[in-house]
């Protein structure tokens, strides 16, 4: 059944927007005009598809009437064949229409901050953090996104206890959102002399990057410390008070940044991460409220859930949310994530359609 009331409402919105689209006064406001142009184009796509579906249903009805009103076997056979094809086409187009009617998440267009941290497994977990960081670097490059490291904590043997980086580009959060969760690796560590497979885990958090208008931070709620940076970065980094630690006292969130030589640059990066973490807290709370009303397998926002396992001995990668397995582990670690990303997007859209 087609959602006639919804379509009627969209038709009315479309006619109102059409007036604004051709109004020269509205064109002078670029931001507003860009917004309504995008909405107008989306509504046009929906209404065009709706009209195609109506025509398809009329064709089916006419064929059924013809079949019931004639004894011509050849004509009946042609009408039945055309009806079968039309019904298959109709089902596909109704599915597409239902997906188009699902409201788009405004966060999907946002850039993101990605945080990867070692969990259980010691040095092996830190090495896997470095592996996933490289995987996302390759993937970002394929998407023509810009990647900027905001903070990192390297180990002595090529691993990373933690790395935080930003991704900037088109529909970054909409593409990366399902990477949040616990990623598990099963392989023989370089330090294992017996050849036994060990299991380690790391956590990935993908945070939509928040603008200042998204999150209001009261300066009185902050404790800001500056201190001497440690680790990699060169002599000037390690001999000046360039590192910054910001504590948001109401939530207990702590953000540190020491990768830049400039205290101001470290402070700006730390504020950027803090805003995104605070925004993500509200987003996670909202998603938890939705999940309490309905079981959501893909978009639950549960960062503690085990989402994917990378099994090196069998070259196997399994996403546990959608039961998808690939035996192309090496390609995936080189950024070939599209199979998983697209399957997760589809599963999420289907969930929203059903609900």
Place of tokens 């180990």: 155
Question: In this structure, are strands 324-326 and 222-227 parallel, antiparallel, or unpaired?
Answer: unpaired
Least confident of 8-12, 59-63, 193-197, 289-293: 289-293
Is the per-residue pLDDT at 234 higher than 50?
A: no
Query: Would the pLDDT of 170 be above 80?
Result: yes
Between 256 and 229, name the one with better pLDDT.
256
CA angle 43, 48, 49 (to 5 degrees): 100
Check pLDDT > 70 for residue 313.
yes
Give the pLDDT score at 52: 94
Q: Return d(Cα 32, Cα 44) in angstroms, integer.
A: 18
Per-residue pLDDT band at 164 (split at 50, 70, 90) = very high
Instruction: Specify whether the CB–CB gap between 115 and 204 falls below 8 A.
Output: yes
Which two tokens mark 335?
A: 């950024």
Highest mean pLDDT among 4-8, 54-58, 152-156, 260-264: 54-58
**Residue 236 has what pLDDT?**
44
* Candidate from 70-79, 186-195, 196-205, 296-305 with smallest mean pLDDT: 296-305
Q: What is the pLDDT of residue 302?
A: 57
* Fold of the CATH domain 4-101: Methane Monooxygenase Hydroxylase; Chain G, domain 1 (1.20.58)
Q: What share of the chain has pLDDT > 70, as a percent?
A: 89
Of the pLDDT bands very low, low, confident and very high (cuts 50, 70, 90), residue 233 is: very low
Q: What is the mean pLDDT of residues 294-318?
A: 78
Q: Which residues, including other chains, have CB under 8 Å from residue 207's CB and lie 6 or more apart?
A: 112, 113, 114, 115, 276, 277, 279, 280
Taking the C-alpha atoms of residue 80 and residue 64, their distance in angstroms, rounded to an integer, is: 8
pLDDT for 193: 66
Flag whether pLDDT at 145 surpasses 90. Answer: yes
Whole-model pTM: value is 0.68
Determine how β-strand 306-311 pairs with β-strand 181-187.
parallel
Judge whether 208 and 110 are in contact, CB under 8 Å: yes
- Which pairs count as long-range contacts for 103-110, CB under 8 Å and 24+ apart, including other chains? 105/174, 107/173, 107/174, 107/177, 107/208, 107/283, 108/171, 108/173, 108/174, 108/177, 109/171, 109/173, 109/174, 110/172, 110/173, 110/208, 110/209
**Residue 150 near residue 163, CB atoms below 8 Å:** no
Q: Which of 312, 135, 151 is nearest to 230 (CA)?
A: 151
Task: Give the mean model confidence (pLDDT) for residues 105-132.
Answer: 92
Is the CA virtual torsion 81, 83, 86, 87 positive or negative? negative
The segment with the largest mean pLDDT, out of 191-195, 287-291, 343-347, is: 343-347
Residue 237 is predicted with a pLDDT of 46
Least confident of 9-23, 270-284, 309-323: 270-284
In which band, very low, low, confident or very high, does the pLDDT at 341 lie, cut at 50, 70 and 90?
very high
pLDDT for 238: 52
189 band by pLDDT with thresholds 50, 70 and 90: confident
Task: Pick the more confident residue, 38 or 88.
Answer: 88
User: What would the mean pLDDT of 216-239 be, rounded to a whole number?
Assistant: 72
- Residue 29 is predicted with a pLDDT of 83
CB 246 within 8 A of CB 268: no
Confidence of residue 82 (pLDDT cuts 50, 70, 90): very high
Nearest in space to 87 (alpha carbons), one of 66, 106, 64:
64
* Residue 350 pLDDT level (bands cut at 50, 70, 90): confident
| Mean per-residue pLDDT, 75-103 | 88
- The domain locations on the chain are 4-101, 106-354
Select 106-354's CATH number: 3.30.160.270, 3.30.1370.100, 3.10.180.10, 3.30.70.1660: 3.30.70.1660
pLDDT at 305 over 90: no
Q: Using the predicted structure, report yes or no on whether residue 22 has a pLDDT greater than 80.
A: yes
Residue 113 reports pLDDT greater than 60 = yes
């Amino acid at each position: 059944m087609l959602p006639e009331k919804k379509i009627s409402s969209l038709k009315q919105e479309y006619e109102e927007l059409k007036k604004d689209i051709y109004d020269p006064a509205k064109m002078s406001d670029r931001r507003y005009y860009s917004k309504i142009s995008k909405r107008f184009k989306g509504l046009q796509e929906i209404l065009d598809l709706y009209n195609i579906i109506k025509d398809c249903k009329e064709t089916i009805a006419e064929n059924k009437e013809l079949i019931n009103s004639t004894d011509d076997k050849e004509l009946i056979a042609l009408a039945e064949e055309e009806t079968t094809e039309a019904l298959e086409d109709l089902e596909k187009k109704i599915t597409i229409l239902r997906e188009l009617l699902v409201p788009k998440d405004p966060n999907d267009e946002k850039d993101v901050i990605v945080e990867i941290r070692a969990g259980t497994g010691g040095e092996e977990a830190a090495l896997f953090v470095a592996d996933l960081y490289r995987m996302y670097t390759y993937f970002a490059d394929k998407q023509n996104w810009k990647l900027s490291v905001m903070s990192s904590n390297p180990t002595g043997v090529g691993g990373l206890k933690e790395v935080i980086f930003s991704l900037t580009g088109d529909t970054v959060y909409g593409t990366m959102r399902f990477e949040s969760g616990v990623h598990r690796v099963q392989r023989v560590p370089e330090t294992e002399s017996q050849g036994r497979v060990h299991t380690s885990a790391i956590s990935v958090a993908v945070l939509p990057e928040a603008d200042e208008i998204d999150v209001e931070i009261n300066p009185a709620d902050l404790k800001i410390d500056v201190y001497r940076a440690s680790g990699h970065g060169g002599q000037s980094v390690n001999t000046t008070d360039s590192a910054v630690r910001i504590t948001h006292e109401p939530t207990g969130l702590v953000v540190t940044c020491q990768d830049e030589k400039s205290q101001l640059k470290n402070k700006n990066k730390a504020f950027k991460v803090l805003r995104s973490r605070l925004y993500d807290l509200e987003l996670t709370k909202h998603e938890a409220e939705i999940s309490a009303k309905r079981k959501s397998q893909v978009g639950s926002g549960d960062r503690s859930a085990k989402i994917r396992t990378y099994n090196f001995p069998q070259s196997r990668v399994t996403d546990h949310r959608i039961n998808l397995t690939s035996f192309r582990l090496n390609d995936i670690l080189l950024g070939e994530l599209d199979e998983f990303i697209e399957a997760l997007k589809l599963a999420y859209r289907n969930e929203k359609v059903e609900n």
